[in-house]
Amino acid sequence: MPSRREFLKLSAFVSASALTPGFLRRLGPGQLPPGSKRLVIIQLSGGNDGLNTIVPFRDDRYYQARPALAIPAGEVLRISDELAFNPALAPLRELYDQGWMSILSQVGYPNPDRSHFRSMDIWHSASGSGEHWQTGWLGRYLDAACAAGAPAHTVLELDETLSLALRGEQISGLGLRDPQQLARSTRDPWIQALSRTEPQGPSELDFLYKTLTQTTASAEYLSSRLSVRGSAAEYPAQELGRKLKLIASLILSGAEPRVYYVSVPGFDTHVRQRGPHDRLLGQYAEAVAAFIRDLRQQGLLDDTLVLSFSEFGRRVAQNAGNGTDHGKANCLFLMGGKLRKPGLFNGLPDLRTLDDGDLAWQIDFRQIYASLLRDWLGADDEAVLRGRFGRLALV
Amino acid sequence: MSSERAHIRHLLFRAGFGPAWEDADALERMSLRDVQRRLFRDSEAPDPLPAPGGLGLPASLLAMTPEERQEAVRTQRLLIRGLNAAWLERMAASQGQLREKMTLFWHSHFACRLRHPALVLRQHNTLRQHALGSFADLLRAISKDPGMLQFLNSQQNTREQPNENFAREVMELFTLGRGHYTESDIREAARAFTGWGFDAQGEFVFRPRRHDYGEKTFRGRTGPFDGDDILDMLLEDPQTARFITRKLYRYFVHPEPAEAVVEEWAGQFYRSGYQIGELMETIFTSAHFYEARNLGARIKSPVEYLAGLMRLLNLRFGDAGSAFFVQRAMGQVLFDPPGVAGWPDGRAWIDGSALMLRLRLPLAMAYAAELDFQPKAEFAGDEDLSEAASREARRLNVRLDWTPILRQLGSVSPQRQLETAAAFCLQTPLPASVPSLLQIADPEQRYVRLLCTPEFQLC
C-alpha cells in the first residue's frame, strides 16, 4: 500500500494527466511488474583502447607493439594467471570475482570502418558496413513496443541530444538530462496550454502535438516516480555517476523505461594516452561499481543487465605520439546478476593473426543485440535487426 | 486569406527559407507568377562564398609534432565554423533563396565530412555553381572534387588495390539508387576509377600508373572503360533521372511521392539533358505543387528552421560559436552531415527534447537569453561542448532589428497583429484555442510566441 505522501504525489499526477486530451492514451502512474528486465547501455565514445583495458600481459607481442604505452606486467591488476585489468579498473574486481561480469573479446563486424561517425552509426543502426540505415536498433525495438501501447520513455537516453540508436520509424525514444529539468520546461504555462490543444491540420501537425503531449506526460511521470523513491547510495560525483544514480533511482521506483542509454566521451586517445585513458577508465569503473553495488543491495541486480561498448578498438601498435589510432574489433563488457557465462566469454584477444595491424572480429555485435533482444527483453530479434544473427548464451 | 497568398508562402518556404518581413511590402504587390519569376531571376548568379583569411592548402599534419597537430586541427575546425556561419547568414539574408536551398539539397545528396576548410569551401562552391545547372556537369565536377576524392577514398583506389567506396556510393546514393546494379558492377566500376586523385594544390589529377587499363564489364557492356565512361553510362540510364527527380520531389513537394508525377517530371528531366533549373521551374509552376495535401506537409530540418527564424526575427548571429551551438543543439550542423547518405528528413528530426527546444528557441533568440541545453560531446573536437566550455556559447550572441517587423505589426490591434503575423509566418492555421493564449500585452513577445508553436515547425 502506498504511503500517504506517495499517494498524494500519485494523485496529483493523475489530476494533471486528466487534462491531457482524449486522443492520447493516458499515461498512468504505472510501474513495471516485479521481475521485469532492464537493459542499461554505456557507450564509450571515441574508441576505447581495449588492449590497455583488459591487458594481455602474458603476450610479448603486446609489449613489442607498444614500447612506450604497454602497461608493465608489474603494474597490471592480475585477476588470474592469464587475465589482468588496467589497474584503474580496480573497482570492478569485486564484480568480476562475484561472477557479475562477462568479458567478450574481439567484438566487431565484417568490413570494419575506422571512422568514428560511420562505425558508431553501424553500431547504432545495426546495419551492415555498406548500408546506411536511418533508424536505430532500440528505436525499432520501441516501434514494436509502441505498437503494443508502450510510451516513448520505454527507451530513455540520459542526454538531451538523442542518439541514432533510439530513433525508430514511427517514434523515437526520449532523451533528457534529468526528468526534473525536463518537467521544469514542460510546466511552463505556454507549453502546458499547447499540450492541451487539439490540433487541426496535416498529419505531421498531429504527430507534433502528440509528441508534445507525450513528452509533457513523460516528464511528469518520470519526475513523480523519482520523488516516490530514489537511491540513497553513494555515487562518485562525476557525470556518469550522476546519470547511473538517476537510472538506479528510476529502476528502484519501478518506472517504465526498459532500456537506459548513457554515453561517456573522451576515449579518442591519439596522443599521450596513458594518463587520460587511465583517468577515464577509473571514473568509469567507480561509477559502474557503485551502480552494481546499489542494485545488488536493492535486490535488483538479477533483473538488470549493463552492456558497455565502444565503436571500435584501437590499433595494436602505438603511434609516434604515445597514443593509439583507430582500430577494429574490441572487447565489450556485460554486467549483471544473471550471466550465463561470467568471466572471459571467448578467451583473450589473438594478437598473432591480425587484420592489417588490428584485432580481427570474432563475434558480430549484432549477435549480442539479438541475444539481448530475444533472451533479455523478450522481443523479436529478427524483426528488429532485419535479419538473423546467431544468438549467444549470454543471459 | 486568398489561396494565392497561401501559395506564395508555400513557394517561399519550399524554394527558399520562407518569407522575411523586409520583403512584406513588395510581396503584397506581387502575384504568384511574379514571385516565381523573381525567385529564378534572383538565383541566377552562383554567388560563391569568399575564402576567409588564413585558409591555406592542406598542410601535411604528419610532419607536425602532436602539439602542432592539435593546434592545426583546432584552427581548421574554427575556420570551418566560420564558413558554416557565413553560409547560414546567406540562407537568411540572400535574395538568391533558391540557389541557397538547392545548394543545401546537394550538400545532403553529395554529403562529405571534410576536415580541411579549403576543401570544404571548394566543394561548397562547386555545389553552388552547378546547383541549378546541369546534373551531368554537377556529377562530373563533384566526382573529381578533391573533398569527394578524399572522403570516398578515390586517392587510395589503385590498380593493385582497388577501393570500391566511391564506385558503390556513386551508384547507390548519387545516381541509380539501390537495386539497379550488382556487386560485380561495383567491382568493375572501381577498376575504371583507378588513378583518380588530387595533387598538393588540390587539383584533380589522373595518375596513369595507378590506372587499370584492362577490359571491364559494367552493366552488360564491355570495354577498357575509365571513370568518365562510367559516369556517362550512369547518366545514359533514365533510372538516374528517376532517382534524382524522386528525391527532389520528396524534399520539395511531399515526403510520399505521387509516382505518376515523378515519372512525367523525370522524363522531362532526362530529355532536357538533366537541366536542374528547368526541372525546378516545372515543379514550382505546376498545379500539382500547390495542391492542398502538399501545404504544411513537411517538418522543417533544423537548418531550414533556423534560417527561416532568422528571416522572421530579422536576426543575425554575432559570432560563429553561437551559430554552431544552436545547430549542434538542434542536431544538424552545416558541413557536418552524419555520413555519405546525408541527413534524414521529416519525423527523424523530432523527439521530445528536440521539440521542447524548438518551442522555446525563438524566445531565447529574440531576447539573446541563455539557452538551457547541453548538446552531447562525443568525439575529438567536442571539447568545447563540455559543460563548462559551452556556458559561454549558451549565452546566445545575436543581433536583432525589430524595425521591419514593427513597421508591419506594431501599429495594429493585438487581434489584427496575430492574424497578420500568422498569415505571414505559418503554413497551417492556429487551432482556435491558441489566440486566447496569446493575450500578451507586449507586441514583440506576442509575435515571438507565435513562432514557439508546433505550427511553426511545418512548411
pLDDT tens by residue, A240-257 = 999 999 999 999 999 999
Q: What is the DSSP letter of A373?
A: I
Mutation to test the B interface, candidates A190, A200, A272, A277, most B Cβ within 10 Å = A190
- Residues of B within 8 A of A270 (CB-CB) are 66, 380
pLDDT bracket for residue A2 (50, 70, 90):
very low
Shortest Cα distance, chain B CAs vs residue A101, angstroms = 26
Rounded to an integer, what distance in angstroms lies between the CA atom of residue B417 and that of residue B430? Answer: 14
Contact assignment for A205 to B339 by CB distance below 8 Å: no
Task: Provide the 3-class DSSP secondary structure of residue B189.
Answer: helix
Shortest Cα distance, chain A CAs vs residue B338, angstroms = 7
Contact assignment for A186 to B339 by CB distance below 8 Å: no
What pLDDT is recorded for position A376? 98
Degrees, nearest 5: CA angle B333-B112-B385? 30
- Residues of B within 8 A of A191 (CB-CB) are 356, 359
| Range list of β-strands (E), B21-146 | none
What pLDDT is recorded for position A24? 36
Contact assignment for B352 to A197 by CB distance below 8 Å: no
Degrees, nearest 5: CA angle B94-B98-B100? 55
Cβ within 8 Å of residue B81, ≥6 positions away? B320, B321, B323, B324
CB A37 within 8 A of CB A260: no
Task: Provide the 3-class DSSP secondary structure of residue B218.
Answer: strand
> How far does CA A303 lie from the centroid of its chain?
15
> A15 or A379: whose pLDDT is higher?
A379
Chain A neighbours among B 77-116 (CB < 8 Å)?
113
Nearest beta carbon to residue B352 from set A118, A196, A218: A218
Rounded to an integer, what distance in angstroms lies between the CA atom of residue B238 and that of residue A200? Answer: 41
Q: Is any Cβ of chain A less than 8 angstroms from the Cβ of B437?
A: yes
CB B370 within 8 A of CB B396: yes
Q: Is any Cβ of chain A less than 8 angstroms from the Cβ of B457?
A: yes
CB B113 within 8 A of CB B337: yes
Closest CA to A208 of A222, A193, A194: A194
pTM: 0.90
Contact assignment for B339 to A198 by CB distance below 8 Å: no
Rounded to an integer, what distance in angstroms lies between the CA atom of residue B254 and that of residue B300? Answer: 12
Nearest beta carbon to residue A159 from set B66, B168, B376: B376
Judged against a pLDDT cut of 50, whether residue A10 lies above it is answered with no
Dig out the grid coordinates for A344 from the structure. Answer: 572471459
Indicate the helix (H) or strand (E) that contains B315.
Answer: strand B315-317
Tell me the residue length of chain A: 395
- Residues of B within 8 A of A172 (CB-CB) are 347-348, 350-351
Contact assignment for B359 to A270 by CB distance below 8 Å: no
- Residues of A within 8 A of B455 (CB-CB) are 201, 205
User: What are the beta bridge partners of residue B57?
Assistant: none
- Residues of A within 8 A of B387 (CB-CB) are 239
Question: One-letter amino acid identity for B387?
Answer: E
Chain B residue with the nearest C-alpha to that of A193: B437
Sign of CA dihedral B436, B437, B438, B441: positive
Rounded to an integer, what distance in angstroms lies between the CA atom of residue B135 and that of residue B175? Answer: 10
Dig out the grid coordinates for A18 from the structure. Answer: 486528466
Dig out the grid coordinates for B351 from the structure. Answer: 523527439
Per-residue CA distances from A140 to A8, A78, A132, A133, A134 (Å) = 36, 41, 15, 11, 11
Q: Is any Cβ of chain A less than 8 angstroms from the Cβ of B458?
A: yes
Contact assignment for B351 to A173 by CB distance below 8 Å: yes
What pLDDT is recorded for position B394? 76
Sign of CA dihedral A300, A305, A310, A316: positive
Closest CA to A140 of A120, A125, A150: A125
Q: What is the DSSP letter of A51?
A: G
Rounded to an integer, what distance in angstroms lies between the CA atom of residue B260 and that of residue B239? Answer: 15
Judged against a pLDDT cut of 50, whether residue A278 lies above it is answered with yes
What pLDDT is recorded for position A342? 97
Cα dihedral A23, A27, A28, A31 in deg (nearest 10): 150
Shortest Cα distance, chain A CAs vs residue B382, angstroms = 9
- Residues of B within 8 A of A110 (CB-CB) are none
Distance between start and end Cα atoms, chain B: 17
Q: Which residue has the cell 529564378?
A: B40
Dig out the grid coordinates for A82 from the structure. Answer: 592469464
Closest CA to B32 of B285, B283, B251: B285
Shortest Cα distance, chain A CAs vs residue B307, angstroms = 20
Shortest Cα distance, chain B CAs vs residue A16, angstroms = 19
Closest CA to B103 of B80, B81, B86, B78: B86
Task: Provide the 3-class DSSP secondary structure of residue B16.
Answer: coil
What pLDDT is recorded for position B389? 60
Contact assignment for A215 to B429 by CB distance below 8 Å: no
Go through B220-258 and write b for each residue having 16 or more CB atoms within 10 A of its CB, e for each that does not. Answer: eeeeebbbebbbebbbebebbbbbbbbbbbbbbbbeebe
Q: Is any Cβ of chain A less than 8 angstroms from the Cβ of B357?
A: yes
- Residues of A within 8 A of B434 (CB-CB) are 194, 197
Dig out the grid coordinates for B417 from the structure. Answer: 497583429
Nearest beta carbon to residue B355 from set A132, A198, A208: A208
Contact assignment for A117 to B338 by CB distance below 8 Å: yes
pLDDT bracket for residue A9 (50, 70, 90):
very low
Q: Which residue has the cell 524522386?
A: B246
Across chain A, mean pLDDT equals: 91
Contact assignment for B351 to A121 by CB distance below 8 Å: no
3-state helix, strand, coil in chain B (%, to 5): 60, 5, 35
Residue B124 exposure: Cα atoms within 13 Å on the Cβ side: 26
Contact assignment for B373 to A160 by CB distance below 8 Å: yes
Rounded to an integer, what distance in angstroms lies between the CA atom of residue A27 and that of residue A217? Answer: 7
Degrees, nearest 5: CA angle A113-A117-A123? 70
Rounded to an integer, what distance in angstroms lies between the CA atom of residue A96 and that of residue A79? Answer: 9
What pLDDT is recorded for position A29? 58
Judged against a pLDDT cut of 50, whether residue A320 lies above it is answered with yes
Rounded to an integer, what distance in angstroms lies between the CA atom of residue B374 and that of residue B389? Answer: 11
Cβ within 8 Å of residue A19, ≥6 positions away? A196
Rounded to an integer, what distance in angstroms lies between the CA atom of residue B44 and that of residue B240? Answer: 25
- In the predicted model, residues of chain B with pLDDT beneath 50 are none
Dig out the grid coordinates for B118 from the structure. Answer: 579549403
Task: Provide the 3-class DSSP secondary structure of residue B324.
Answer: helix
Dig out the grid coordinates for B51 from the structure. Answer: 575564402
- Residues of B within 8 A of A170 (CB-CB) are 347
pLDDT bracket for residue A87 (50, 70, 90):
very high
- Residues of B within 8 A of A190 (CB-CB) are 359, 437, 449, 452
Go through A180-210 and write b for each residue having 16 or more CB atoms within 10 A of its CB, e for each that does not. Answer: eebbebbeeebbeebbbbebebbebbebbbb
What pLDDT is recorded for position B84? 98
Judged against a pLDDT cut of 70, whether residue A306 lies above it is answered with yes
- Residues of A within 8 A of B355 (CB-CB) are 208, 211-212, 215
Mutation to test the B interface, candidates A161, A169, A188, A277, most B Cβ within 10 Å = A161
- If you count residue pairs, one on A and one on B, with CB atoms under 8 Å apart, how many are there? 164
Closest CA to B130 of B142, B112, B145: B142
